[in-house]
C-alpha cells in the first residue's frame, strides 16, 4: 500500500522529476570541456586495464565469455550505473536539504531522480558497447541473438534494485553520516563479488550458488544474453527479480519509517 502511494506521488510530480534529472545532467557535464565523453572514457579505461591483466598477463581466457572485451564492457557499464547511484543516493537528502525543507515534494523524488540520471548516463554510454560489438561482428568473433530483447528487462530490474537500495541508504546516511564511508567500502568489495570481470562459471563450485544471490548476477545475465551463446541462467534471473523487488519494498518501508526523523535532522 505504501509502495503504491509513493508511486502515485512520484507520477503526479513527474514533470518536476524530469526537470531535476535534466538539472543533474547539466551540472555534471556543463562545467567540463569534454562533458559527456567522461561517460565513455571511464569504462573504456577500466576495460583496457582488466583486458591487459586477464588476457595478456594472466592469460585467463576462461574467466569470461569470448570476446572478453565485450564481456568486460557490459559488466563495467552496468557497474558504473550501480556504483554511481549508490554513492549519490546515499547523500541525496543531505545534498538537497534546503530544497527538501522549502518544498512539499515527495521526498522519495530526490532519490529516484539520482537513479534516473545515472540510468540516462548508462544509456548514453551504449555507443561504446555498440562500437565494440560492430568491430567483433565484422571480425566474426561475436554473434548476436534474439535475447538482446532481454536488455530492457535487465534495465528495469536494475532500476528497481537501485531505487530500493537508495531509499534505504538516503535516510540512514542522513541520520548516521558514517554510512557514506561504509558504502564506499562495500562497493569495493561488491565489485569483486559481482561477476563483472569473470563469469559465474569461472568461480569455484562452492561459490557459484552464493553468487546467484547477488541481484546484479542475474541482471548481468540479462544484459549479456544477447551477445554470447551461453545458456541463460534462469535461476539467477529469478533470484535477481525477487531480491530486487524485495529490496524495493523494504526500501519504501524504511524511508516511510525514517522520514520524520530525517526532516528533523536536516
Cα 62 to Cα 47, 72, 75, 131, 216: the distances in Å are 17, 13, 16, 23, 21
Output the pTM of the full model.
0.89
Cell numbers found for residue 83: 556504483
| 8 A C-beta contact, residue 261 and residue 171 | yes
Residue at grid coordinates 544474453? 225
pLDDT digits (tens, 9 = 90+) for 182-202: 999 999 999 999 999 898 888
Cα 195 to Cα 22, 129, 162, 203: the distances in Å are 32, 18, 18, 9
pLDDT digits (tens, 9 = 90+) for 219-250: 999 999 999 988 888 999 999 999 999 999 99
**Residue 133 pLDDT > 80:** yes
122's CB contacts (< 8 A; 6+ apart) are 77, 78, 80, 81, 155
Cell numbers found for residue 87: 554513492
Rounded to whole angstroms, the Cα distance separating 109 from 199 reads 35
Among 84-88, 102-106, 181-185, the range scoring the smallest mean pLDDT is 102-106
**Residue 254 pLDDT > 70:** yes
Amino acid at each position: 500500500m505504501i509502495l503504491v502511494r509513493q508511486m502515485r506521488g512520484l507520477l503526479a510530480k513527474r514533470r518536476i522529476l524530469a526537470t531535476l534529472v535534466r538539472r543533474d545532467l547539466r551540472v555534471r557535464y556543463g562545467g567540463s570541456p569534454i562533458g559527456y565523453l567522461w561517460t565513455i572514457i571511464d569504462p573504456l579505461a577500466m576495460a583496457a586495464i582488466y583486458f591487459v591483466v586477464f588476457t595478456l598477463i594472466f592469460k585467463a581466457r576462461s574467466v569470461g565469455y569470448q570476446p572478453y572485451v565485450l564481456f568486460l564492457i557490459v559488466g563495467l557499464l552496468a557497474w558504473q550505473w550501480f556504483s554511481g547511484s549508490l554513492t549519490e543516493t546515499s547523500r541525496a537528502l543531505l545534498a538537497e536539504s534546503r530544497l527538501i525543507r522549502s518544498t512539499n515534494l515527495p521526498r522519495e523524488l530526490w532519490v529516484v531522480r539520482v537513479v534516473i540520471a545515472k540510468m540516462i548516463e548508462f544509456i548514453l554510454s551504449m555507443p561504446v558497447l555498440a562500437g565494440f560489438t560492430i568491430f567483433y561482428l565484422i571480425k566474426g568473433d561475436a554473434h548476436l541473438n534474439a535475447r538482446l530483447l532481454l536488455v530492457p528487462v535487465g534495465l528495469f530490474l536494475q532500476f528497481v534494485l537501485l531505487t530500493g537500495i537508495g531509499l534505504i541508504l538516503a535516510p540512514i546516511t542522513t541520520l548516521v553520516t558514517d554510512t557514506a564511508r561504509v558504502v564506499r567500502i562495500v562497493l569495493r568489495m561488491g565489485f569483486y563479488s559481482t561477476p563483472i570481470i569473470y563469469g559465474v562459471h569461472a568461480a569455484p563450485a562452492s561459490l557459484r550458488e552464493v553468487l546467484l544471490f547477488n541481484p546484479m548476477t542475474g541482471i548481468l545475465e540479462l544484459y549479456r544474453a544477447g551477445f554470447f551463446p551461453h545458456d541463460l541462467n534462469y535461476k539467477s534471473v529469478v533470484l535477481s527479480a525477487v531480491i530486487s523487488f524485495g529490496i524495493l519494498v523494504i526500501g519504501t518501508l524504511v524511508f516511510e519509517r525514517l522520514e520524520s526523523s530525517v526532516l528533523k535532522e536536516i
